[in-house]
Amino acid sequence: MTFKKGFLAVLAVSGFALAAQSASAQACPPPMMHHGMGPGPGPDFFMGADLTKKQHKQIDAIFKKAHNQEEGDQSREAERDLHTQIQDLLSQPGKLDRDKIASLQQQLATIRAQRDMQHLDVMEQIHDVLTPEQLTQIKDRETKERALMDQLHQLRHPDVTK
């Protein structure tokens, strides 16, 4: 195989991998982030809600505990290893082993589901710290923010079929 053909093959495999990753990323909305954690409330989540000093301390403690638990979590390394195995299978010449790739993707999904449940636990703890009035304030701000984002989307991507 010439260098040019080999380079084109690598580009094609990389393109397939990026397309697959992009397609899966578009299937779910981007998560909110906080201090490097995964999906969950970030600092902007609390904007518009008047938190007491006690609530700030409680929420900081919740985030700190979750962050410390994530530090010891081996799932990120396992996820990286699974991604590497998938990339290796995609770049091998010959027939693609779809069953093996599907099995690895299922393992990835299991890791992500476990992490999502951990994040839901954190979000529930924070929810329990907030008062009904604060939750209403947050919901109202999020509703306004979502409407603005929808307007921005319409400006950037007008419906040309009308």
Average pLDDT over every residue of 30-45: 49
Sign of the CA dihedral with 118 first, then 119, 122, and 127 last? negative
For residue 49, is it within any domain? yes
Residue 35: pLDDT band with limits 50, 70, 90: very low
The Cα–Cα gap between 33 and 25 comes to 16
For residue 126, is it within any domain? yes
For residue 124, is it within any domain? yes
For residue 15, is it within any domain? no
Residue 75: pLDDT band with limits 50, 70, 90: confident
For residue 18, is it within any domain? no
Q: Measuring CA to CA, how many Å separate 116 from each of 40, 110, 147?
A: 9, 10, 26
CB-CB neighbours of 107 under 10 Å: 16
> pLDDT tens digit string along 94-147?
999 999 999 999 999 999 999 999 999 999 999 999 999 999 999 999 999 999
Six-digit token pair at 96? 């693609």
Q: Residue 19 pLDDT more than 50?
A: no
Domain of residue 81, residue span:
31-156
| Per-residue pLDDT, 110 | 95
For residue 2, is it within any domain? no
For residue 22, is it within any domain? no
| Per-residue pLDDT, 45 | 73
pTM listed for this prediction: 0.61
The residue ranking higher by pLDDT, 46 or 51, is: 51
For residue 9, is it within any domain? no
| Per-residue pLDDT, 41 | 59
- As a whole number, the mean pLDDT across the chain is 79
Q: Residue 5 pLDDT more than 60?
A: no
> How many separate domains does the chain show?
1
Average pLDDT over every residue of 31-42: 46
